[in-house]
Chain A
Amino acid sequence: MNGYGGTILRVDLTDGNISKQPTPGQVSRDFIGGRGFGIHFLFKEVPKGTDPLGPANKLIISSGPFSGMMVAGGGKCSWTTKSPLTGGYADASMGGHFSAEMKYAGIDVIILEGISPKPVYLFIDDNKIQLLDASGLWGKTAFDVEKELKHKYGEEYQVAVIGPGGENQVLYACINHDYGRQAGRGGVGTVMGNKKVKAIVLHGTKSVPVADVETYRKASLALYKACKDAEGLAEWTRYGTTVVTSWCDEVGALPTRNFSAGSFEQGPNIYGQTMRKEIVITDKGCFGCPSPCGKYSYMKRYNTQVEGPEYETIGMLGSNLGIGDIQAVAEANRLADNYGLDSISTGGCIAWAMECYEKGIFTKADTDGLELKFGNIDAVFALIKKIAYREGKLGALLALGTKRAAAQVGKGTEKFAIQVKGMEQSAYATHNATAMLLAYMTCDVGAHHNRSWAITYDLQVGRDKVVPEKVARIVWLQNFRPMFDVLGSCRLQWVELGIDRELYIPVLEAITGVKRSWQDLEAVGNRIWNLTRMYWVREIADFSREWDLPSPRFYTEPPKTGTTAGQITKYEDVQKLLDIYYEQRGWDENGIPTQQTLETLNLSALVA
């Protein structure tokens, strides 16, 4: 099948059975790839009510038709599962070279099923596929294991690996790849650890079939030319995502001290410009990327290296913890990666604990003696390790995520657990940014930014406005942006370089031989969005609009300092945002797609 590896690989870890089936043509037409494949297999194959940390849950790793092809940013890989953090849908998008290598091995999707009786790693070298003993790797950190496996098999082999966080079932454990790329959110690494899979080693030498080679080559070259000619390329490549740090600080969107403010008095110390000057040594790109956002850094004080920190991590492990020291933020990033923790949720959990400590809700008896004040770098380093190993009372508590931790502690701490649906909010403070707030409220995995990044749109059209046009923008972004994850390529060329999205269409058509338009692709995106919504409805017994509410902080506690001092979103506006959103989506007042909506999207039979 043109544009595809052609194979779905199933690995039953319980009995060690490995099987292949051809990638179904109809599924490829309806769901295309990436997270489309992810939700298709998750919804269909993982029974209702499955324990996320039980044998019936699956970890679905999928590439798309752009993965591994000559397409700008064609290195995205989707990891889909039932989230142990939220109990609902999760997919984490990972860059690097993994999905490209899957395609060269002839594989579109790897489905990990069951639970292995002992630690293993999955070894794939074209048609040679084995489960190998990982008892010697279990317990080791992510970078050490990647290094060991790369050394054993060679530079051409791609590796994805969990750290101790995944082994120890921290509920937001991540999967590491290429010394710095992660499938970060929702606990995909927790599920991999639960299945006792320490790593996947991958090597492929096959060529991906293409419908019209010469048209594909010419259309792809035109796409690359547009990226290279883009006005913003030089600045974007110099700073990557950290280019927004100073802007966020200026407009009051930089999360500061557990989102109690959106501007940080030590902000300039962690701006992208400071980082580039002080610690960056190499630009590091994912597969096929002409505009590499990855920055590889050397931290002289610690004599260590890390890919990053990128903006989200700077916000969550920097300003949100009161840390204005770029080397310390980068080192915290390295620790989180190496121990296999999602740096966003880790930052959210530590910030919540720091607020508990500063308010006197926690004492040193609760923190294992740590002086857990905002800005205490050593306490942050120590706590990251404690979380990864569930060490002590606090490590075990924070391994559960802020929603569960706050429910256990009580005492009003739920009000400053900054999360939606159980997932910690990523690094945009939304006291007065209603489009971005709605984006977090309605994101399909919890409070994550990348489905509909709308913070600049808020500033353009009036940040406190609650109007149908604003909501329509969120709906459109949610249908459109995730299609890059479906296709297996990065959205940042469109977002940051302003590339005309029409340039992708002739590439896709030439690769697959299937006629497509963005209208058509957005319809697929809408269908996928509704299917993920129905997954939540199916799995959460009392699912209702309560699940779409943000942290009360954003409608009850205006920041005392910074650009957004005194500003807040009114609670009635929060509700109004949902009312308009549900209406535009064709969902009822509890945020559940109506029968008519499901029928229009041809989803009725699938969700029945």
Chain B
Amino acid sequence: MRLYADSAKCSGCRACMVACSLNLFQESNPKKASLNLIAHFPDPGVYEMKVCTQCGDCAAVCPTEAIKQNDRGAYYVDFAECNLCEACVPECPEEVMFVRSELANSAWKCDLCGDCVSVCGTGALWIAD
């Protein structure tokens, strides 16, 4: 199972991002979301979404084995074991492996909680195999 995004359906509202931070960190803060939105405005006027494909490349390079799989089959960061080395960040082909030490004491990524899908009103996000 993984998260899918259809950028053509995205309206750039960032509800997914605040929902993500709320589930992952219990905080309302889109800067701490594990999916990303790039707005290409004013020209050509399209949104581009970046989501985790659960490829596992981040887990493969993690020196402390902090990136583990949960019962949904998603890779997640065990906050207690992350040492902020950032080795995972350049490995992510979608650029949705985050380390921002000013915001959190751990790397973070999508754990497939599904709250982003729940709040997306345009059907731009879904979870499937």
Task: Say whether, besides A147-B42, A292-B13, A305-B45, A70 and B18 are in contact (CB < 8 Å).
Answer: yes
Query: Contact at B102–A205, with CB atoms within 8 Å?
Result: yes
Instruction: Tell me whether A70 and B119 are in contact (CB under 8 A).
Output: yes
Contacts of B28 in A (CB 8 A): 68-70, 207-208, 210
Q: Which of A70, A213, A237, A294 contacts B15 (CB 8 A)?
A: A70
A233 CB within 8 Å of chain B: yes
- Structural contact, A205 and B103, CB atoms closer than 8 A: yes
Q: Is the CB of B121 within 8 A of A206?
A: no
Residues of A within 8 A of B47 (CB): 282
What A residues does B18 contact at CB under 8 A?
68-70, 288
Name the contact of B29 in the complex, choosing from A104, A286, A298 (C-beta under 8 A).
A104
B64 at the interface (CB under 8 A from A): no
Q: Which of B31-39, B50-58, B65-73, B80-88 contacts A (4 or more CB under 8 A)?
A: B31-39
Contact A233 B121 (CB under 8 A): yes
Interface 9-mer from A9-17, A219-227, A251-259, A385-393: A219-227
A285 x B11 contact (CB < 8 A): yes
The residue among B28, B32, B102, B115 with the most chain A CB atoms within 10 A of its own CB is B28
Q: For window 1-59 of chain B, which residues contact chain A by CB distance below 8 Å?
A: 9, 11-15, 18-19, 21-23, 25-32, 38-39, 41-47
The complex places the Cα of A210 from the Cα of B12 at a distance, in Å, of 24
Q: Which residues of B contact A227 (CB under 8 A)?
A: 121
Residues of B within 8 A of A210 (CB): 28
Q: Establish whether residues A290 and B38, one from each chain, have CB atoms under 8 Å apart when the complex forms.
A: no
- Give the chain A neighbours of B26 by CB distance below 8 A: 213-214
Assess whether B92 is interfacial by the CB under 8 Å rule: no
A179 to B41, CA, bound (A): 7
Do A225 and B118 touch across chains, with their CB atoms under 8 A apart? yes
Q: When the two chains form their complex, are residues A283 and B29 in contact, meaning their CB atoms are under 8 A apart?
A: no
Find chain A residues with CB under 8 A from B44 CB: 281, 298, 305
Indicate if the CB atoms of A97 and B14 lie closer than 8 Å.
yes
The tally of residues in A whose CB lies under 8 Å from a CB in B reads 47
Complex contact A281–B45 (CB within 8 A): yes
For A51, what are the chain B residues with a Cβ–Cβ distance below 8 Å?
none
Do A224 and B38 touch (CB < 8 A)? no
Instruction: Tell me if B39 and A155 are in contact (CB < 8 A).
Output: yes
Chain B minimum-CB-distance residue to A294: B11
Q: Determine the distance from Cα of A214 to Cα of B115 in the docked complex, in whole angstroms.
A: 13
Nearest CB to that of A306 among chain B residues? B42
**CB-defined contacts of A220 to chain B, threshold 8 Å:** 22, 119
Q: Are A70 and B13 in contact (CB under 8 A)?
A: no
A217 sits at the interface (CB 8 A): yes
CA distance A228 to B21 in the complex (A): 21
A296 CB-CB contact with B under 8 Å: yes
List CB contacts (< 8 Å) of A385-412 with chain B.
Answer: none
B11–A283 CB distance below 8 A: yes
Partner of A289, one of B11, B23, B30, B46: B11
Cβ of A156 within 8 Å of any chain B Cβ, yes or no, is yes
Residue B120, interface by CB 8 Å? yes
Is A79 part of the binding interface, using a Cβ–Cβ cutoff of 8 Å? no
Chain B contacts of A225 at CB under 8 A? 118
- Give chain A interface residues in 42-80, CB to chain B under 8 Å: 68-70, 72, 75
CB distance from B119 to the nearest CB of A (A): 4
Contact B15 A288 (CB under 8 A): yes
Q: List 21 A-B contacts (CB under 8 A).
A: A70-B18, A70-B22, A104-B29, A104-B31, A155-B38, A220-B119, A221-B119, A224-B118, A224-B121, A225-B118, A237-B121, A281-B45, A282-B11, A283-B11, A284-B12, A287-B13, A290-B122, A291-B121, A292-B13, A292-B121, A298-B45
**Which 8 pairs show the lowest CB-CB distances between chains A and B?**
A290-B121, A285-B13, A285-B11, A207-B27, A292-B11, A207-B29, A283-B11, A224-B119
